[in-house]
Chain A
Amino acid sequence: MNASLSFRGASVTAVIVVLLTGIMAIASLLPASSPVQVSPFIMTLAGKYLAYAMLALAVDLVWGFAGILTLGHAAFFALGGYAMGMYLVREIGARGVYGNADLPDFMVFLSWKSLPWYWWGSDHFPMALVLMLVVPAALAGLFGWLAFRSRVSGVYLSIITQALTYALMLAFFQNGFGFGGNNGLTDFKDILGFDLHSPYTRAGMLFVSGLILAGALLAARYVVGGRFGSLLIAVRDAESRTRFLGYRPEQVKLLVWVFSAVIAAIGGALYVIQVGIINPGEFAPANSIEAVIWVAVGGRGTLSGAVVGAILVNLGKTLFTAWLPEMWLYGLGALFMATTLFLPQGLMGLMHHMPKKRPSEVTPEVTNPEGGEA
């Protein structure tokens, strides 16, 4: 796949993202009578899409550039979300329905007497940031270190990433786990003293999300652009050969894996602030698969494509669940099939002219059960 050059559009995309979110943020503060006012509904939607774009970017980094098809990236996204959610829940304080300043509502009515130890410090925003970065990074580090060291690859890796997020989902579903069980964390009031429902906070959050996404795009571009990027592509396309040349593919993979997990986690945190709820459903394997699909639709290995794909697919979902509530699954399903059949390089591939190889041509080397791409 000749994708290594097509990520150069990333900086352009970053600029567009910042400009668009900036304009939207300002327009949202206009009076409702103004024809160009952006409604709070659009603002919350846009915030959600940007958070999903972060997740898609993270998936593209590992799938597009390191050849690791992750079916469990939503785990890191949700962990980041929970870290932020813990802070937001504590920020409610005595304004909860039971007026208990120390315990979140769900702990009060299940008769918990004190906060579990792992909630320590969760009422401080910096602690939320630390948790948001450290927990997913540590999990990704441990998982990746074990997996890449013993050269787990291909579908084996895909399936155990899926098992990982599935196990986490089951764990977070349990009420005894201390994160609100199936209901998760919700009913947030404010962040750092800013009212979450005020238009100013919404405008600010959207712009911050835009900045962070742009930053992540540039950082990702920097990572995959230099010598390290060439090494990544080498590992993706011929791992054994790279190893024989004296490189350590497992370290290369681990680095990009942890970096990607952190991007996903930041996305999750942004998501929770703007969507207002985090619950174990976010760990569902289906969510991870969908994230992969956004990347496939946008164009794998292009960075910008991931962002575009995430936004377009979710926009479609928003529109079709409202317009065609009983038919939209046909459309979504058909979109995924059509993309893989007719747009093997996604929308970005369409922009960069037709792919050089016809999709139906089968390369003889890749007929082994492991698959050649992994």
Chain B
Amino acid sequence: MAEFAMSGPAALSGRKMRNGVRGIFAAVLLSLLFIQPHNARADEDVFAGLATTQFNTIASSVDQIAQQGGPRALPVLRALADRKLFATREGDGLFIRTDSGWEDARSGASATPDEETLRPVRVNNRVRLAVAAAEAELELVSGTPAERQASAMLFYQRHDPAMLPAIDKALSKTDDVTLKNTLQDARAAALLSPGAPVSDAQAQQQAVAKLKAAGGLDARGVLAQASTSEALDPATRKAAEAAVSSIDFKLKLWGFGQDAFYGLSLGSVLLLAAMGLAITFGVMGVINMAHGELMMIGAYTTWLTQKAVLSVAPALGSFSLVLAIPAAFLVCGALGIVIERGLIRFLYGRPLETLLATWGLSLILQQVIRSLFGPTNVAVTTPPWLSGSFHLGGIEVTIDRLAIMIFAVVVMAGLMLVLRRTPLGLEMRAVTQNRRMAALMGIRTARVDALTFGLGSGIAGLAGVAVSQIDNVSPNLGQSYIIDSFLVVVFGGVGNLWGTLAAAATLGVGGKALEPLVGAVSGKILLLVLVILYIQRHPRGMFPLRGRGVES
């Protein structure tokens, strides 16, 4: 590792000299202009810098490659970003690893280098930034429409005045309305940023107006900086300040919508976690402390399914989550039936003692998983179609969270259907309402009990699938959900699914509304206290079960 060592404090203080220059682009460009004036020579080997071990040399080489363009520029930069670009330990040979073998980076011809002498070209965030910028610069001219739009967005986010010529060039070449608009935003942002060429007050104010119309966090950042920038016209500064407060107001309004989304998304996780409990606890009266562990087993089933699919049919890897849903339901449902037959059925009529027995069971289940799969987290991957986010006006909607919300609603609807429209649901309700009468009518109560518990456990497994996408999957997973789950069921009213839904949504939205105001910890405490006080006023939760049997 010694050859990679950067000289520490000495290099730091040297770099400090350049701290005054803002932005990677500017720094690189300046170094090109002043330190390496021979840059313009077309015959120079701009790739040679990549073969060094110094990050700043690699980064400036990347920039030179982008400046020079040429057919090899994009393939080399992409290889660099994917860590497929290798350099020889001696000299400056550069090779790209392809699926079938190697190719020479400079010519693109296939090659057979001695792999023993190769090392990957070093990449750090600084190089990555330079690569992204260089790629954007190249793609803005030669990319597909989508790539051009993404490049223009990147220019807008970076708002580096050094890129103004490139922006202008691209503007003159495009007719696409969306692309033009983004480029104009980028141009406006660059004009107002420090280091921009001197412009007249009118152009500046037009830029401010453009950014004000664009809105959003990026525009706000540029405008906030502009409002204090000495380089700009006083009137521009004033206009920028006004624009900032206007954007702030809009952001605040959207912020409520955003918090509502966060709240509903948290609520949907709570709903999924609590729904199974609403069956086993709410309908059957079993205080199942092992409910969280059933969720944990559901999450581990997701992991195992993913592993199995990847080893059998790697092409289907990204859809393993779809397979995990029935798998987790069946595994946890079956386990639930085993638990009911082996333990719970001896304890009917002693609900508080089911708490103790299932607590013991939860300890055992945790330890079983720990011994089988180890105490550490296991990696459940999020498939590409669940990754990322999109904007709905000013609200950023993350796709995994949206999927969980939809999933929760679907599971809830499915559960409602089972309870109301199937023979099993009818029998379940009959048994819970009057066990003896149901038994006398010929219903096999023992079978119904087992299936009901299995259903609740299966739903816990489904919750485990959802949770595996946003939380860590470890033997401790269940412990972090059990208290919240019980709180949701009790807050909503035991035995009422609609109550569970309302409670989950209330707790989710309430929690997320409090969090920005008082912080995550105090928000949670406050919410707990509010629930305690609410139950003091409404001792049977939000949707109390009416009728006989309510008074114990």
Interface residues of A (CB under 8 A from B): 69, 143, 146-147, 150-156, 158-160, 162-164, 166-167, 170-171, 173-174, 239-240, 285-286, 289, 292-293, 296, 326-327, 329-330, 332-337, 339-341, 344, 359-360, 362-364, 366-374
Contact = CB atoms under 8 A, between A and B. Distances in A.
A372 B360 contact: no
Contacts of A153: 539, 552
A129 to B, nearest CB: 28
A364 B551 CA distance: 15
Contacts of B282: 369
Given A159-B486, A285-B483, A368-B552, A293 B349 contact: no
B106 interface: no
Contact of A162 (B359, B435, B486, B551): B486
A330 B361 CA distance: 9
A160 B540 CA distance: 12
Interface stretch (B119-127, B399-407, B530-538): B530-538
B549 interface: yes
Contact of B495 (A143, A146, A369): A369
Given A152-B536, A369-B283, A369-B495, A329 B363 contact: yes
B541 interface: yes
Main secondary structure of the interface of B (DSSP, over half): helix
B343 interface: yes
B550 interface: yes
Contacts of A147: 536, 539
27 contacts: A147-B539, A150-B537, A150-B539, A153-B539, A155-B351, A156-B539, A158-B287, A160-B535, A162-B483, A162-B486, A167-B524, A174-B521, A296-B356, A329-B363, A330-B363, A332-B363, A333-B363, A336-B363, A341-B347, A362-B435, A367-B285, A367-B348, A369-B494, A369-B495, A370-B285, A371-B285, A374-B351
Residue of A143, A158, A239 ringed by the most chain B CB atoms within 10 A: A158
Contacts of A341: 343, 346-347, 357
A367 B437 CA distance: 12
B552 A372 contact: yes
Residue of A151, A296, A359, A371 ringed by the most chain B CB atoms within 10 A: A371
B535 A155 contact: no
Interface string B335-352: 000000001001111111
Nearest to A159: B490
Contacts of A333: 360-364, 367
A151 B350 CA distance: 21
Given A146-B536, A160-B532, A371-B552, A359 B346 contact: yes
Contacts of B347: 340-341, 359
Contacts of B348: 362, 367
B364 A373 contact: no
A143 to B, nearest CB: 8
A337 B283 contact: no
A336 B360 CA distance: 5
Given A367-B435, A369-B432, A170 B525 contact: yes
A374 B552 contact: yes
A306 B353 CA distance: 16
Contacts of B486: 159, 162
A344 B350 contact: yes
B366 interface: yes
B379 interface: no
B242 to A, nearest CB: 38
A245 B163 CA distance: 88
B528 A167 contact: yes
Given A329-B366, A370-B549, A334 B360 contact: yes
B72 interface: no
B436 interface: yes
Contacts of A69: 352, 355
Contact of B535 (A152, A285, A368): A152
B426 interface: no
A337 B361 contact: yes
Contacts of A154: 552
A135 B282 CA distance: 35
B40 interface: no
A340 B29 CA distance: 76
A330 B531 contact: no
B529 interface: yes
A373 B551 contact: no
Interface of B: 281-285, 287, 289, 343, 346-357, 359-364, 366-367, 371, 432, 434-436, 479, 483, 486-487, 490, 494-495, 521-522, 524-525, 528-529, 531-533, 535-537, 539-541, 545, 549-552
B539 A151 contact: yes
Nearest to B437: A364
A363 B366 CA distance: 33
A43 to B, nearest CB: 29
Nearest to B533: A146
Contacts of A156: 490, 494, 535, 539-541
A154 B490 CA distance: 11
A367 B521 CA distance: 39
Contacts of B283: 369
A201 B102 CA distance: 77
A150 B536 contact: yes
A155 B490 contact: yes
A336 B356 contact: yes
A186 B545 CA distance: 48
A152 B539 contact: yes
Residue of A147, A240, A367 ringed by the most chain B CB atoms within 10 A: A367
Contacts of B531: 160, 163
A124 to B, nearest CB: 30
Contact of B487 (A151, A163, A335, A372): A163
A160 B494 CA distance: 13
A364 B436 contact: yes
Contacts of A340: 347, 350, 353-354, 356-357, 360
A373 B351 contact: yes
Contacts of B352: 69, 155, 158, 371, 373-374
Given A156-B535, A368-B285, A167 B357 contact: no
Residue of B347, B351, B364, B436 ringed by the most chain A CB atoms within 10 A: B351
Contacts of B529: 167
Nearest to B549: A368
A371 B539 contact: no
Contacts of A296: 353, 356
A330 B483 contact: no
Contacts of A155: 281, 287, 351-352, 490, 494
Contacts of A146: 533, 536
A219 B8 CA distance: 70
Given A158-B287, A159-B490, A373-B352, 7 more contacts: A155-B352, A160-B535, A166-B528, A167-B524, A167-B532, A174-B522, A344-B350
Contacts of A152: 535-536, 539
Contacts of A329: 363-364, 366-367
B536 A289 contact: no
A362 B360 contact: no
A172 to B, nearest CB: 10
A26 B327 CA distance: 63
Contacts of B539: 147, 150-153, 156
A78 to B, nearest CB: 15
Contacts of A360: 346
Nearest to B353: A340
- 9 A-B pairs with the lowest CB-CB distances in the bound complex, closest first: A336-B360, A371-B351, A333-B363, A368-B549, A333-B364, A167-B528, A333-B360, A152-B539, A340-B357
